[in-house]
Amino acid sequence: MCIFLNAHFRVYFHLLFSMTDKQIDRLLSRIEWEHQDELNMVNQFNMDYFATEYLEDMYTRWYDRCERLRNFYKQSLQLMLLACACMIAGLVGLILDFPVLFTAFYIAFILMLGFSASMVHLNRHFGSIRQNEYIGDKIRAELRRRYDTMYI
């Protein structure tokens, strides 16, 4: 036990006295950036730490976030469908030897790059749909548990 405390004391002592102000500012800004998304805090902390009103607010924010996520997915799907239509038009242009329709292949390629960029942006800023649904289920279950214990 004493060795464990001594090892941690050395780490904290090193962090406190050997880091420069710039390193400390960088560390604090990284911590703030990582915890900027309050909905992801649900995965990191116990649900008992949050007040019921705060969980209700987080649930409404989660619902709004899921609506934006669904709209973004719909727009990305429409972009991919347009790319498929351009691909078919390019194939028709290739078969009929019509060079104007053949340029639709280039447009389809650009649209597919746009779709890929939108998916990267979506996963970077919102996370996956499965992760968002897990967060919502966790908040919903905790609110249901609190309401059930409140009225019993």
Do 59 and 94 lie in one domain? The reply is: yes
Please tell me the total count of domains within the chain.
Answer: 2
Do 93 and 127 lie in one domain? The reply is: yes
Do 29 and 49 lie in one domain? The reply is: no
Domain of 61 in residue numbering reads as: 38-150
What secondary structure does DSSP assign to 129-144, as a single string? HHHHHHHHHHHHHHHH
The tens place of each residue's pLDDT in the chain, 152 residues long, gives 444 444 555 555 566 666 677 877 787 777 666 655 666 677 677 777 788 888 888 889 889 988 988 898 899 899 999 999 999 999 998 898 888 888 888 999 999 999 999 889 888 877 777 888 888 888 898 889 888 877 65
Torsion of CA 119, 121, 122, 127, to 10 degrees: 120
Identity (one letter) of the amino acid at 17?
A: F
Do 30 and 89 lie in one domain? The reply is: no
Do 83 and 104 lie in one domain? The reply is: yes
